[in-house]
């Protein structure tokens, strides 16, 4: 690779920072420019709803992707607090506000996603929060002090983790969700009910099967009016109602879009020399023969490096089994696989004591699995998912049968 080449990465978070690191570990000797609009150096977001939010660990201890001196030491030009306003694929340049142009030989878009905002009356009131950045997490920690009345809108991963942390910080928490249990869209009713019971056991006041009509209050929010007429008192509202991929730059650049930036299994877009990775990328997955946009830490962690290798011409498909994790109170879990369709869930272990594995099964094949408070099953689960064959469901449920025998 010629030392004169310049690779530009737009979006300096997990996917972008790991891509920059990989360019160097793979021996790229040209310029690496990592541009991010946030003022902080690249960080991971999972702690923002967990230990960092609760004030248990600092930014450096739990969130920063690399030590502060990493970027200089690796000749990575990290341009913090810098926004890219245009991508010009015709001239192979990005425009950095206010008007600086920077040419690239390869470009990675790792611009991530942003929280969806409430559109109900009162959404603009003070003390209505969203959670994506360190600043958002700092603001929430402050808002949760002094045992306030918190209403969490949306019982997805962010909503559930924020509710758990708020309870752990001593806040009174109510949760509102349109579905019948938390996390129903991903986990289904049966497993979602385990999370419902977990939050109930920790004193969260839950309202399922209802929406939000309006937020009420003068300057700051004072209540949340539900579609069934109930008004929940609220001094703090947190909305965790999903994210939208940041596609504006790509759209203006004429890249192909559909629920994110469309990329193939090599994470290449339809434009010469431009790649996308992480939350913004809707990538073709060779295993599932379809495009999937993953909003997971592990996709950012691994797609960034995969894109970097392909920017260097290695032509390697990204085919990892999707993986994510969540921690709520004393329930930690890891989920592997992809289960848009399943016909049953098989449990192995002690569900009542929240120490078990649940398997999502479709036509006799395990398509996804979640280990809850069991930390030595990851490799066996991965092998089972990779083997792809039909399994005996009684043996799958039997904790005395070694999981590796089922692959």
Residue span 238-267 as binding mask against ligand FAD, x where in contact by CB under 6 A, dash where not? --------x--x------------------
Taking CB under 6 A as the criterion, which residues in 376-395 touch ligand FAD? none
Nearer to ligand FAD, 21 or 279 (CB): 279
Contacts for 395 with CB less than 8 Å, ≥ 6 apart: 401, 405, 406
User: Site residues for ligand FAD, window 19-38 (CB under 6 A)?
Assistant: 35-38
Which CA distances in Å does 64 have to 76, 105, 207, 223, 289?
A: 16, 28, 36, 36, 34
Helix H or strand E segment including 161 = helix 157-168
Q: Is 84 in the site for ligand FAD (CB under 6 A)?
A: yes
Please count the residues of this chain forming the interface with ligand FAD, following the rule CB under 6 A: 36
Please measure the distance between the N-terminal and C-terminal CA atoms of the chain and give it in whole angstroms: 42
Q: Is 297 one of the binding residues for ligand FAD (CB under 6 A)?
A: yes
With binding defined as CB under 6 A, does residue 131 bind ligand FAD? yes
Question: Is-contact 381 335, C-beta < 8 A?
Answer: no
Would you give the binding string for ligand FAD spanning residues 305-344, x where CB under 6 A is met? -------------------xxx------------------
Residue 300 interacts with ligand FAD (CB under 6 A)?
yes
Distance CA 335, CA 368 (A): 7
CA atoms within 13 A on the CB side of 50: 16
d(CA 43, CA 50): 14
Give the x-and-dash track for 189-218 against ligand FAD (CB under 6 A).
Answer: ------------------------------
Choose which of 20, 33, 158, 238 interacts with ligand FAD (CB under 6 A): 158
Please say which residue, 158 or 234, places its beta carbon nearer to ligand FAD: 158
Residue 183 near ligand FAD by CB under 6 A = no
Lookup: tokens for 361: 């099964």
Smallest separation (angstroms) from ligand FAD to the CB of 83: 4
> What's the angle, vertex CA 322, arms to CA 321 and CA 327, rounded to 5?
130
Consecutive H or E run containing 290:
strand 290-292
SS3 content of the chain, % helix, strand, coil (to 5): 25, 30, 40
Task: CB nearer to ligand FAD: give 17 or 391.
Answer: 17
Query: Binding residue for ligand FAD (CB under 6 A) from 7, 9, 11, 224?
Result: 11
**Would you count residue 113 as binding ligand FAD (CB under 6 A)?**
yes
- Asked whether 347 and 374 are in contact (CB, 8 A), the reply is no
Burial status of residue 308 (CB atoms within 10 A of its CB: 0-12, 13-18, 19 or more): buried
Which residue number, 48 or 368, has a Cβ lying nearer to ligand FAD? Answer: 48
> Under 8 Å CB-to-CB from 119, ≥6 apart: which residues?
none
Rule CB under 6 A: choose which of 295, 307, 361, 372 binds ligand FAD.
Answer: 295
Q: Which of 9, 34, 107, 110 binds ligand FAD (CB under 6 A)?
A: 110
With CB under 6 A as the contact rule, the residue among 8, 9, 13, 104 that binds ligand FAD is 13
Residues in the chain: 407
Are the CB atoms for 239 and 132 separated by under 8 Å? Answer: no
Residue closer to ligand FAD, measured from CB, 76 or 226: 76
| Binding span for ligand FAD by CB under 6 A among 55-63, 292-300, 383-391, 394-402 | 292-300
Subset of 36-65 contacting ligand FAD (CB under 6 A) = 36-38, 45-46, 48-49
As measured in angstroms, the least distance from the Cβ of 292 to ligand FAD is 13
> Which stretch, 67-75, 110-118, 119-127, 382-390, contacts ligand FAD (CB under 6 A)?
110-118
Q: Which residue(s) pair with 41 in the sheet?
A: none
* CB 12 within 8 Å of CB 82: no
Left if phi > 0, otherwise alpha if psi is -120 to 50, otherwise beta: which for 209? left
Interface residue list for ligand FAD (CB under 6 A): 10-16, 35-38, 45-46, 48-49, 83-84, 110-113, 131-132, 158, 246, 249, 278-279, 295-298, 300, 324-326
């Amino acid at each position: 690779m010629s030392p004169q080449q310049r690779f530009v990465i737009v979006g300096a978070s997990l996917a972008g920072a790991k891509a920059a690191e990989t360019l160097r570990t793979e021996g790229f000797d040209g310029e690496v420019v990592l541009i991010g609009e946030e003022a902080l150096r690249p960080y991971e977001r999972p702690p923002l709803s967990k230990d960092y939010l609760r004030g248990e660990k600092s930014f450096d201890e739990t969130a920063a992707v690399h030590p502060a001196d990493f970027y200089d030491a690796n000749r990575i030009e990290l341009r913090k607090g810098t926004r890219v306003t245009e991508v010009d694929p015709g001239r192979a340049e990005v425009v950095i506000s206010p008007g600086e142009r920077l040419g690239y030989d390869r470009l990675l878009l790792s611009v991530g996603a942003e929280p969806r905002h409430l559109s109900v009356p009162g959404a603009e009131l003070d003390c209505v929060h969203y959670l994506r950045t360190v600043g958002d997490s700092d603001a929430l920690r402050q808002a949760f002090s002094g045992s306030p009345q918190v209403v969490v809108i949306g019982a997805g991963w962010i909503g559930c983790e924020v509710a758990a942390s708020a309870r752990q910080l001593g806040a009174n928490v109510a949760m509102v969700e349109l579905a019948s249990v938390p996390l129903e869209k991903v986990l289904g009713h049966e497993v979602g009910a385990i999370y419902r019971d977990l939050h109930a056991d920790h004193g969260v006041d839950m309202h399922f099967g209802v929406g939000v009509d309006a937020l009420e209050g003068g300057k700051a929010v004072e209540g949340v009016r539900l579609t069934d007429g109930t008004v929940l008192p609220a001094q703090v509202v947190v909305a965790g109602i999903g994210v939208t991929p940041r596609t504006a730059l790509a759209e203006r650049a004429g890249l192909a879009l559909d629920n994110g930036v469309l990329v193939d299994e090599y994470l290449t877009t339809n434009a010469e020399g431009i790649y996308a990775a992480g939350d913004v990328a809707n990538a073709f997955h060779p295993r599932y023969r379809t495009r999937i946009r993953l909003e997971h830490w592990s996709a950012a962690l691994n797609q960034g490096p995969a894109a970097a290798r392909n920017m260097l011409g290695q032509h390697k498909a990204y085919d990892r089994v999707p993986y994510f994790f969540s921690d709520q109170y004393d329930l930690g879990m890891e989920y592997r696989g992809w289960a848009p369709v399943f016909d049953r869930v098989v449990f192995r272990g002690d569900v009542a004591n929240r120490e078990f594995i649940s398997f999502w099964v479709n036509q006799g094949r395990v398509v996804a699995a979640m280990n809850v408070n069991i930390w030595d099953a990851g490799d066996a689960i991965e092998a089972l998912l990779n083997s792809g064959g039909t399994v005996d469901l009684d043996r799958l449920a039997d904790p005395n049968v070694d999981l590796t025998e089922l692959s």
